[in-house]
Amino acid sequence: MYTPKFIQICLGSLFFSASFNMLIPELPSYLSSLGGAKYIGLIIALFTFTAGISRPFSGRLTDTIGRRPVMLFGAMVCLICGFFYPIMNTVFGFLLLRLFHGFSTGFTPTAASTFVSDVVPQERLGEAMGIHGIAFGTGMALGPALGSLIKLHFSYSILFYSSSAMALIALVLIVNLKETLDAVAPFTWKALRISRKEIIAKEAFPAAIINFLAYISFGVILTLIPDWTEAVGFENKGTFFIVFTIFSLLVRIVAGRFSDRYGRTKVILIGLLLLVIALFYLGQFQSESGFLVGAGLYGLAMGVVTPAIHAWTIDLSAPGKKGNAMATMYIALEVGIGLGALISGWYYQGAVPRIPNTFYCCAGFALLGAVYIITRQKKPSN
């Protein structure tokens, strides 16, 4: 399983993830400095909106023109955006750029996950998705921590240019990959014409539902955790993401292997129940120690759920339509993150005591996902 292709795509995903995640802890303060504090919920919502609407196109292109060009396009968007943030120094310009930046995650992760499924043995797919998730998650942890460190010692402009540097490294890694799609078609504008049937892969809908319910909480986390981190006494706004990702990484390989051996839905159910506990804990224990324990529990929960959902999506996909299935799963993810960010930002309005209520609400959605798994009729692919 540990071929040069697999290692290279994991490294590419790490730097790609670090590129856009390193901005997240500092963007609320940056938007406030521009006079847009009331638009804090749009930082993530606009990003996920364009990521979501681009998924059907990235899924189709992944299955037609190939995995590699789709990954390259998303990384190129990150590279370009890092240079434009210092220039777009108005609230409108910033929000417009966030809208465009979302195309990055609308393209690269869809093709990268599909690429992984092409280059590993099918019987170790869950394990492979877990390891690929470790790489992506490492970028998610190191990015915010490094971003906050850069901002503390340098400036917003240096932070944005550093984001572009990470994207450039990802580009170099991806451009040297060999295409894995057998029948590659040349790109034409007609390839962007998709029918209603091609927008959503119905066969992947069960995995998409769970992804939506699980990732509502992540939209809330991305939007409110920077302020919550300061409120409980930490200076580095990336603290939560460091702890969250460390625990997420520790469990991903084991969870992936368990999903290969015992079934995807059993592992997903355990992860969802852990997610309920983690979100209640985050809201209930409002101290530095409680914050760290909550971050660790949340990391464990998402580390269990995510690789199993990704592998389950591939299991459910139709022949030759893995990209479409992954796109459907990611659409649900983006909608969940976007709604979580938008609604929590609207409810929050700078009132820190309101934040625990958003965690409790997210726990309810995770519990709903657990009920769905329990009551859903089991299928052979589960």
Q: What is the DSSP track for 177-208? A: SPP--SSPPPP-GGGG---HHHHS-GGGHHHH
**How far, in Å, CA of 46 to CA of 97, rounded?**
9
DSSP 8-50: HHHHHHHHHHHHHHTTGGGHHHHHHHTT-GGGTTHHHHHHHHH
| Environment class of 277 (CB within 10 Å of its CB; exposed 0-12, middle 13-18, buried 19+) | middle
Q: Which residue has the higher pLDDT, 364 or 311?
A: 364
Structure tokens at 351: 């009132």
Q: Which residue has the higher pLDDT, 380 or 304?
A: 304
3-class secondary-structure state, position 155: coil
- Tokens 């290692």 belong to residue: 7
Maximum Cα–Cα distance across the chain? 56
Task: Give the pLDDT of residue 381.
Answer: 45
Q: What is the mean pLDDT of residues 75-86?
A: 94
Q: Measured between alpha carbons, how far apart are the two ends of the chain, in Å?
A: 23
Q: What are the structural domains, with CATH classification, of the chain?
A: 4-179+200-375 (1.20.1250.20)
Q: How confident is the model at residue 80 (pLDDT cuts 50, 70, 90)?
A: very high
320, containing H or E segment:
none
Please report, rounded to a whole number, the percentage of residues in the chain having pLDDT higher than 90: 29
- C-beta neighbour count of 5 within 10 angstroms: 16
Phi/psi for 201 (5° steps) reads: -85, 105
- pLDDT tens digits, residue range 256-305? 788 888 888 889 999 999 999 999 988 887 778 888 898 899 999 998 99
Q: Where are the alpha helices (DSSP H) in the chain?
A: 4-21, 27-33, 42-64, 67-84, 91-101, 103-119, 125-153, 156-175, 196-199, 205-232, 239-262, 264-284, 288-316, 322-348, 355-375
Rounded-to-integer distance, Cα 322 and Cα 303, Å: 22
* Residue 246: predicted pLDDT: 82
CB 323 within 8 A of CB 62: yes
Say whether pLDDT at 199 is over 80. Answer: no
- How many whole angstroms separate alpha carbon 196 and alpha carbon 194? 7
- Residue burial 51-84, b: 16+ Cβ < 10 Å; e: rest: bbebbbbbbbbbbbbbbbbbbbbbbbbbbebbeb
Q: How confident is the model at residue 99 (pLDDT cuts 50, 70, 90)?
A: very high
195 pLDDT band, cuts 50/70/90, is low
pLDDT > 80? residue 198: no
